[in-house]
């Protein structure tokens, strides 16, 4: 079974991972030694010119988490885009899930 992502040419298959394999994968990823390795690798790839604005945000006050997420997106993307538009003539927004499958836990 496949689905059309955008009404154009972005066709994606529906895929389900077997629950036992999924749990085994999470056990491997979350093992202390492996998790430390993953965090270390992410730090090696850090670049001050690249910013990820899609990580989940938890509300630190009475706002709901979803409201905090929207506010974070508005500040990190929309407002910065306006600020940078005064300095640059082009902007690039990317979404790697259009290129690669996602692993979500």
**Residue holding tokens 């010119």?**
49
42, two tokens: 């992410």
DSSP string over 53-91: --S----SSSS-HHHHHHHHHIIIIIIHHHHHHTT-S--
100, two tokens: 């690669």
What pLDDT, in 10s, does the model give residues 54-98?
Answer: 778 888 888 788 888 888 888 888 888 888 889 998 877 776 665
Q: Could you tell me if 76 and 51 are in contact, meaning their C-beta atoms sit under 8 angstroms apart?
A: yes
pLDDT recorded at residue 80? 86
């Amino acid at each position: 079974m496949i689905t059309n992502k955008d009404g154009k040419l972005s066709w994606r298959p529906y895929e389900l991972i077997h629950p036992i394999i999924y749990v085994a994968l999470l056990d491997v990823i979350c093992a202390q030694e492996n998790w430390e390795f993953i965090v270390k690798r992410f730090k090696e790839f850090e670049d001050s010119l690249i910013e990820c604005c899609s990580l989940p945000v938890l509300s630190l006050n009475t706002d709901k988490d979803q409201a905090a997420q929207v506010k974070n997106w508005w500040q990190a993307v929309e407002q910065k885009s306006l600020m940078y538009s005064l300095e640059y003539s082009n902007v690039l927004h990317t979404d790697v899930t259009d290129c690669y499958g996602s692993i979500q836990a």
